[in-house]
Amino acid sequence: MFLSIALVPAGPANAASSTYYVSAAGNDTNAGTSSDAPWRTLGKVNSTTFQPGDTIRFRAGDSWAGQLWPKGSGVDGAPIAVDRFGDGAKPKLVGQGAVGEVVRLFNQEHWEIRNLDVSNAKPATGTPGANLGDFRGIGVHGDNGRTLRHFVVDSVDVHDVTGEVKWIGGDPADNSPGVTWKTGWDRSKNTGGIVFTTTVPNIAAPGNPTVLTGITVQNSTIKNTSFAGVTVKQYTGDAPGAVRTGWGTRRTADDVLFRPHTNVTIRGNYITQANTAFGGNGVYLTNVRDGLVERNVIDRVGVSGIETYYADRVTVQHNEVMGTHHAQGSADANGLDPDVGTTNQLFQYNYLHDNGDGILLCGCGTPRFGSAVIRYNVVTGSKRWNLHMWQEAGTVATIHNNTFYSTEAPNMVSGNNSGRATLTNNLFVSGRSASFLQQSSLTYSNNGYSSNLTSRPSSDSRRVVGDPRFVNPAVRGPYGDENGPRLDTAANFALQAGSVFVDAGATVTGSGGRDFAGTPVPSGSRPDIGAFERGGPAPGISFEESFDGAATGPLASGTNGWRVVSTGNEVGVVDTPSVTDKSVRLNRTTDGGGTDGTNLARIFGTPLQGLVTIEAQVMRNDTQAGWFGLPYVYNSSGSQAVSVALARGQIHAYEGGTSRVVGTYASGQWYRITLGVDTVNQRFDLDVDGRRVLTGAAFRTSMPEIGKIAWYANSAERGAVHVDDVRISSGPTSTS
């Protein structure tokens, strides 16, 4: 079936690459290039300049104290990687507050860091906060005036970082041990779990900006890390004696001095500050252009769950934020905050619940510009206010089709707004008579209000009032955790039949065309009011399989719903990577199986429609040239619509009718393949290990619904592959 495809050998980028092993039982006099003869110390690693394509592997279950700062840079297509080897817990790197950051990169690029356990806690004293300092878990820095590219942090656990808390403004009279007010921009907000920030070698002669591009932080846990879980920040030059550059704090929307970091993705992480008295933000993106924050769980952080600041073109979507509270005298306790100097911000499809505050729009301060779209979010259980507007004149906000529900908050919409804001098709439901900000700068149109909201805006002449008939507004979980957000719980705030808000909305130009659950809008004669179209599917996990509980040996067709074809070949559960972390191995050594070949497939009796995310870990563990589809996605008629394959060192994907080479792979190495499939708009996105390699690619053939997904090879193809940790999610995806 695939013999007509011309396969090109992998390029020479990885030809000279090496893998180095480090173990607490090793010896630095060893060559280090074998797991049987590993190095021992961080010092040995730090004194080595690694080459493009090299990998540094730390033995699972071992621990090192100090700082990891390996030298060298990778190149495009051949990054330098840090990972683990062997079975057991992630290797631990412990800073103990003796180093600024436990994992450090400086003026380096093309690095990927995976599967480490990182902490940097200075021992506590008898005075709370006295042990806080200039500490980070992972710190990526630069000052060489260049653009530094490609940084991936994946599947790490960063925790217990006792970083100091420094605020831009405030009153120094409020200082306390570890907490300092009015420090200015460059001296504040530099600590936390994972921090990307650049500076200059000489503050009196700053030269050119150092810009980071291609940042990805994904699939990680970040816990109890003081100021923030993840921070991205640029230098601006406001310290005493510094020459102000203007790189970090833009003065206007089109400020030519603004030189932000670019292409930043924060995806699939669990971030909490629940067990530290000094915990601040979850995600803090400043000085960023083209950012994506999605599918994170932000749990009990201080100040703000996800905040953008002096940023442009950032999308925040499909996150769950809960339990945000005031911390260290902060004014805020919100779930989401497009803040000062932010333009083209899109906050959509997020589930915010049980926070001190809901959504803050703070285009405040001297910069009198900003633009944001806030749509299809579900905001419940806020304590103080649901939507707070503090926009200066010159700012523009579009707020539509959000659902706000609170039994406690005295304010539905609050603040003091001078900027222009339109509120359309939002659904406001309260257990009390909450108030609404009513100013001429705010336009309320066609919103929905529960009957008890007697203070509803008089200017909303097209308002709709009544009982929303939610599915279950008393829901108390399940909520997100380290396994990801539970957006399906938000579906309890969808409308039931008989709700006055069904088909009662106005048409909003540029609405995105889908509701919170991915249902096309409108599904009826007109859009519904609120975040859900009635009758649409609830978002959530359609299928998840780790194979860890399966018996080792041949996998019988029908097991847990899998369709297996192995005629003359092997499809079986194996103890790889370990006996507690199994996978399925497909080994094809001969012809057999016809079109299906050697095949592991998921067939959907009810085809999947709308937005579907397909994820799996895959590995080729051979040196053969066979073409393996990993995976192929079929329409309900059995035709291939999305095709990803690994063959002869290259990762291939079809874009329409054309096969593209989108990356390379190494035998024996796992890769996370993620497809964001949009059957409404007939396109898909492809990520490999969190790196976007195709965006908005056309299907090979029309696929209005997904009938089957298969990992397989057939015909004359030969080789062995592993498949693990399959996850198929319906509803919202990263496709936008």
Secondary structure of 105-158 in HEC code, one letter for each residue: EECCCCEEEECCEEEECCCCCCCCCCCCECCEEEEEEECCCCEEEEEEEECCEE
**Averaged confidence pLDDT in the chain:** 92
pLDDT tens, position by position, 66-102: 999 999 999 999 999 999 999 999 999 999 999 999 9
Reported in sequence order, the residue ranges of 460-610 that DSSP labels E, i.e. its strands, are 464-465, 540-545, 553-554, 562-565, 570-578, 581-588, 598-608
Max CA distance (Å), the chain? 80
Q: In sequence order, which residues have a C-beta less than 8 Å from that of residue 474 and are 6 or more positions away?
A: none
pLDDT tens-digit map of 263-286 = 999 999 999 999 999 999 999 999
Per mean pLDDT, which of 238-242, 425-429, 522-526 is the most reliable? 425-429
Residue 540's pLDDT is what? 61
User: How far apart, in Å, do the first and last CA atoms of the chain sit?
Assistant: 33
pLDDT tens per residue, range 163-173: 999 999 889 99
Please state, in angstroms and rounded to a whole number, the distance separating the CA atoms of residues 441 and 446.
17
pLDDT band for position 156 (cuts 50, 70, 90): very high
Q: Name the residue among 270, 207, 196, 293 with its Cα closest to residue 243.
A: 207
What digits encode the pLDDT tens for the residues 536-570?
Answer: 666 665 678 899 889 999 999 989 889 999 999 99
390, amino acid identity: W
- How many residues does the structure list for the chain? 736
- Cα torsion 24, 29, 35, 41 to 10°: value is 30
What pLDDT shows up at residue 42? 98
**How much is the CA Rg of the chain, to the nearest whole Å?**
26
CB 571 within 8 A of CB 710: no
Q: What is the pTM of this model?
A: 0.81
Q: Is 114 within 8 Å of 217 (Cβ atoms)?
A: no
Question: Which residues, 6 or more positions from 648, have their beta carbon under 8 angstroms from its beta carbon?
Answer: 7, 8, 9, 10, 625
Nearby residues of 270 by Cβ (< 8 Å), 6 or more positions away: 220, 221, 222, 223, 296, 297, 299, 480, 481, 482, 484
pLDDT one-digit tens code per residue, 573-619:
999 998 889 999 999 999 999 999 999 999 988 888 878 889 999 99
Q: Are 584 and 724 in contact (CB under 8 A)?
A: yes
**Cβ proximity of 215 and 260 under 8 Å:** no
Tokens in use for 489?
A: 């719980």
For residue 490, the surrounding DSSP H or E stretch is helix 487-490
Judge whether 283 and 233 are in contact, CB under 8 Å.
no
As a whole number, mean pLDDT of residues 332-341 equals 94
* Whole-number pLDDT of residue 518: 85
Tell me the C-alpha distance between 350 and 292, whole Å. 13
CA 28, CA 44: separation in Å to the nearest integer?
A: 6
Note whether 586 and 711 are within 8 A (CB): yes
